[in-house]
Structure 1
Amino acid sequence: MAAKPAQSKEAARLRLYLLSIMLDMLVLGLAFALANLLVLGSLIGEPGKPHGLVMAAMIVPVYVLIAVHGGVYGIRMIGNRRASAAKAVWSLAQAVMLTLFIIYLGKIAEQLSRLTFMVGLALSAGGLIAVRPLIDRLAIWLVGAVPHITVLLVDGVEIETPREAWRVDAQAIGFDPTARDAKMAERLADGVGGAERVVVACPAERIADWRIALTSLSAKGEILVPEMRQFVPAKVSAFADHPTLVVAGGPLLFRDRLLKRLFDLAICVPAILALSPILIFGALAVKLSGPGPMFFRQQRLGRDARPFMILKFRTMHMALSDLKADKLTEKDDPRVTRIGAFLRRTSIDELPQLFNVLKGDMSIVGPRPHAPAAKAAQSLYWEVDERYWARHCIKPGMTGLAQVRGHRGPTDRHEDLINRLQSDLEYVTNWSIWRDLRIIVATLRVLAHDNAF
């Protein structure tokens, strides 16, 4: 009988990340406070000289940013204290150099106690090294002895299951890789739970189908190929001494997902506050335009092709609303109300999706979420191009690369979808926080668009 896959440990890893950062911040603060005591003989400080804690306050934010970017808190550092300590000390050195540069430009060097500063740095470096074993213990407590959650997905072959993996039978979860639709994609995501690595053992003739199926997951997807054992240099990965083909990359590391989530919140929360008058105006306008709710909720495909309910201002007459998106909106669509046409033309109807971002279903930037029944010409989206599922390996966005390039509006032809898909896959492959910033800026120029109807 198939074992139940491990639940997602992303929340536990987030807690580990935050606790590790807080421990390092505490170490730096205590180090400089102790330096103040050792050098000046008092915790109060010297008149006219910044306290050691002031020095720590200048260094800590810079250190945290550099440490996160440098992988000090990465899951790979668990159990690797030497590498973790080396990265932490190197991040501290970079933070100190940058802080000294800022101090020099601010012309405040003369106000600092140099000896307190140097003793604080020495104690900080020692403290960062000393706290690594504690972080390891926290990791085992929060994440478990095996931080990388691996699922072995078996499809019609005999294979032993190593201790570090959860075994899931494809038939037991009702998944068929040849049935490429939204329900099957959701079933696959549910079946592997919160796995970060999914290894498929299947007959050779089903490898091509599994290659496509795995691309919809945010996890790293691999396929066992025992025949590759004779070509040892050619294997790209391994699972319990078996060669595997990596067919899905899981594009964002945990560190990247954390950074992207923090970025989303940093944009989303101020945007909701700043745009609250427009949100209130939109809600009132829809309410006065006719009977029906202010908001339109519709099922869309999110990360891992899991469904979620997207939130928009209602722009259609209630009796004519298309909850399944069987028919996409067209120019001069009689279903759209007069106020709805204005909201669509100015993209105000999309603003409630800020709450989807706040909830975590969406991101500010990413591939736009599609309804399961959406079609290009007369074909469902995934029937047009087998690469379609790969766009679901990250969260969908309020805006994306395709939108700023002008690929909006109806998908009357297969080419309309393919153009968007090309941009989505380019974004997924080459994601960076700086690209997200550029797309947000570019979005401001295309809020009002001829194809927004």
Structure 2
Amino acid sequence: MKVSKEIVRLRLYLLCLLGDAVGLLLSFMLANWLMLGAVWGEPGKPHGIVMFAMIAPLYVLLAIQGGAYGIRMLDNVRQGVLRALLALVQASMLMLLIVYLGKIAEQLSRLTFVAGLLLSAGAVTLVRFAIARLGDRLLGEVPHLTVVILDGVVIDTAPHVLLIEAREAGLHPENHDASMAARLAAVVGMAERVVVACPLERMDDWSVALKSLSARGEIVVPEMLRFAPARVDEFASQPTIVVAGGPLQFRDRIIKRLFDFAVASIATILLSPILVAAALAVKLTSAGPILFRQPRLGLDARPFDIYKFRSMRADRTDTKAETLTARDDDRVTAVGRFLRKTSIDELPQLFNVLRGDMSIVGPRPHAAAARAGDSLYWEVDDRYWERHCIKPGMTGLAQVRGHRGATDHHQDLIDRLQSDLEYVTAWSIWRDLRIIVATIGVLVHHKAY
């Protein structure tokens, strides 16, 4: 039996709320018994029931606000679990703040609290997997959230959507009458999002038809692909297409800068013996400066001087990068070859990070004259400049995937660009951490020369 999305969502809310409440209660009672030897606690110490009463309301409010409940849990159980765990962590932090401000910390059994929190994390996880497993049996058939109507145009679609051929379903948007509106409503059911793919000349008709629905109506406009990623806004009451705006919000930029500064500071201190040893090796084995400076394109394509340990003979260095380093390049010194092979020559870029020119993780900075084959980088692919909307990095997604070394062919640059754009459009601090860990495994690489 089909039920509406509102009924499904209500049942999921109630079922999850009940499951989470019972799970939290049992978790803190079990923790109390394990740590204190009694379900109800011992004299002079708050028991698990009190802890449950403090954390449960906070958790429920934060879980609702964070989207840990609802119909989408059935489509993406992992996301539902992550949101529930995030709400639990936030609730525990708020509870600790209340305990501290209330000056009742000494009355709290810390072991009971920690054990109860860990057991609660397991409980809310099990609740969501159980609902996903029993969803069809308990709730009936869940309606499609997204419906795609194909009207003479075929497009690629994501999974878990309902595909409808307009002609086969008897949908004629040019008929602006009650029967068309009723037929459209019956076809899309209780979907929350209706996407139409149609020729340009039928967009006006579909725009009128979709307005009769309570669902969000969208029309695929392939012509906008050349502006992607883009969104619609307005200026002086005129519609505009926003084709650029930077991938990071202000808060994200602050987080990334603080992260970069902290990692670079710690790394500089820990790696100082290697930095000193490399500097001495360069100075004592060949004439010339210890550091090599080269103009590179950074954030907003603005030039900056990148720092490296000099690995070439001073009279043969290429400050414009007009000739990329090749394997067995006779310009490279013996010490320089070791520094390049182990990536130690890149360590002075920690000072670029501290100065704010670079990030720890990001697309690698290129010289303006660098070429892929016989073409300048931006001549190979029109998307090249998109990678400059974020600070360049000491390491990046392209590097940990093995895309480094000489760019003898156009494809060498395209491979790097694909990874760079993937990083730019899906940045997170957790991805930065994963890339840093993965970088350890590619410090010595067969393409490092």
Instruction: Calculate the TM-score normalised by the size of structure 2.
Output: 0.52
Summarize the Cα distance change of 1:94–1:342 in structure 2 as closer, same or farther, 3 Å threshold: closer
Q: Distance in 2 between matches of 1:438 and 1:310?
A: 24
Q: Distance in 2 between matches of 1:92 and 1:442?
A: 29
Summarize the Cα distance change of 1:248–1:286 in structure 2 as closer, same or farther, 3 Å threshold: same
Q: Which amino acid aligns with 2:267?
A: A
Superposed displacement of residue 240, structure 1 = 1.5
Q: Distance in 1 between matches of 2:98 and 2:347?
A: 42
Q: Specify the alignment match of 1:441 in structure 2.
A: 437
Secondary structure of the structure 2 residue equivalent to 1:450: coil
Q: Which amino acid aligns with 1:336?
A: V
Superposed displacement of residue 95, structure 1 = 5.1
Summarize the Cα distance change of 1:111–1:404 in structure 2 as closer, same or farther, 3 Å threshold: same
Question: Of 84, 97, 100, which aligns to 2:95?
Answer: 100
Q: Distance in 2 between matches of 1:93 and 1:382?
A: 47
Q: Specify the alignment match of 2:352 in structure 1.
A: 356
Secondary structure of the structure 2 residue equivalent to 1:299: strand
The answer as to 2:428 corresponding to 1:432 is: yes
Q: Which amino acid aligns with 1:240?
A: A
Q: Distance in 1 between matches of 2:105 and 2:369?
A: 68
Superposed displacement of residue 318, structure 1 = 0.6
Summarize the Cα distance change of 1:255–1:111 in structure 2 as closer, same or farther, 3 Å threshold: same
Superposed displacement of residue 362, structure 1 = 0.0
Superposed displacement of residue 290, structure 1 = 1.0
The answer as to 2:231 corresponding to 1:242 is: no
Q: Distance in 1 between matches of 2:337 and 2:374?
A: 25
Matches for 1:40-439 after TM superposition, within 5 Å: 97-98=92-93, 100=95, 111-112=106-107, 236-439=232-435
Q: Which runs of 5+ in 1 are unaligned?
A: 1-65, 71-90, 114-206, 216-221, 223-234
Secondary structure of the structure 1 residue equivalent to 2:363: coil
Summarize the Cα distance change of 1:432–1:293 in structure 2 as closer, same or farther, 3 Å threshold: same
Secondary structure of the structure 1 residue equivalent to 2:254: helix
Q: Percent identity?
A: 64
Q: Distance in 1 between matches of 2:235 and 2:318?
A: 46
Instruction: Calculate the TM-score normalised by the size of structure 1.
Output: 0.51
CA distances 1:346-391 after superposition (whole Å, capped 9, x unpaired) = 0000000000000000000000000000000010000000000000
CA distances 1:47-79 after superposition (whole Å, capped 9, x unpaired) = xxxxxxxxxxxxxxxxxxx9xxx9xxxxxxxxx
How many residue pairs were aligned?
A: 251
Q: Specify the alignment match of 2:6 in structure 1.
A: none
Superposed displacement of residue 102, structure 1 = 9.8
Q: Distance in 2 between matches of 1:272 and 1:300?
A: 22
Q: Specify the alignment match of 1:19 in structure 2.
A: none
Q: Which runs of 5+ in 2 are unaligned?
A: 1-61, 67-85, 109-222
Q: Distance in 2 between matches of 1:289 and 1:381?
A: 35
Secondary structure of the structure 2 residue equivalent to 1:267: helix
Superposed displacement of residue 246, structure 1 = 1.3
Q: Distance in 1 between matches of 2:338 and 2:92?
A: 53
Whichever of the two has the greater Rg, that structure is 2
Q: Specify the alignment match of 1:450 in structure 2.
A: 446
Secondary structure of the structure 1 residue equivalent to 2:345: helix
Secondary structure of the structure 2 residue equivalent to 1:248: coil
Q: Which amino acid aligns with 1:275?
A: L
Q: Which amino acid aligns with 1:100?
A: M
The structure 1 segments of at least 4 consecutive aligned residues displaced by more than 6 Å after TM superposition are 91-94, 101-104
